[in-house]
Amino acid sequence: MSEEKKTVWQAIGTGLKMRCPRCGQGRLFKGFLKFAPECSHCELDFAAGDTADGPAVAIMFVVGTVVVGGALFVEIVYMPPMWVHMALWGPLTLLLSVGLLRPLKGVTFALQYFFKAGTVETREDWQEPQ
C-alpha cells in the first residue's frame, strides 16, 4: 500500500477497475453485483458498503440520453421503419444498462470510501475534497 495521498480521480479509477478502494488490489465483487465480504489483499471489510440505487439512477440518465438522442437523430435524418428502431435501441438499452451497472457500483463504493460516507471504513491516506 502506498502512503501518498490519493485523489478523487484515483478513487474513480479504482472503482471502474472494480478493485478495493483502499489498496487497489483485491477484487470488489464476489458475483456479478454482490460485493465480496472483504478485500483479499488488505482485508478491508466491504459489508458496510451500500450503493443503494445510485448507480441505477446514473445509468438511467446516461442510457436514456444516449438512446433517446440516438433514436431522435436516426428518425429525423434517416426516417427508418419502426422495426429498425426496435432492432437498434432495444438491445442497445439492455447492453448499456447491464454493462454499466457493475463499474458504476464500484465507483459509487469507492467514492463512499473516499468521502468517508456512512459506515465505510476509511484511511488517512485519502485526501480531503477541496
pLDDT value for 11: 93
pLDDT digit string (tens) for 8-56?
Answer: 999 999 999 999 999 999 999 999 999 999 999 999 988 877 888 999 9
pLDDT value for 2: 47
**Within-domain flag for 96:** yes
**Within-domain flag for 75:** yes
**Within-domain flag for 34:** yes
**Within-domain flag for 77:** yes
How much is the pTM? 0.80
Confidence label for 4 from pLDDT (cuts 50, 70 and 90): low
- Domain assignment of residue 79, given as a range: 8-114
C-alpha cell at 11: 478513487
At residue 63, what are phi and psi to the nearest 5 degrees? -65, -40
pLDDT digit string (tens) for 70-95?
Answer: 999 999 999 999 999 999 999 999 99
Number of domains in the chain: 1
**Within-domain flag for 1:** no
Task: Kindly list the distances between the CA atom of residue 26 and the CA atoms of 17, 44, 56, 59, 97, in Å, as whole numbers in the listed order.
Answer: 10, 9, 24, 25, 25
Confidence label for 116 from pLDDT (cuts 50, 70 and 90): confident
pLDDT value for 3: 46
Alpha-carbon distance of 77 to 84, in angstroms, equals: 13
**Within-domain flag for 85:** yes
**Within-domain flag for 127:** no
**Within-domain flag for 44:** yes
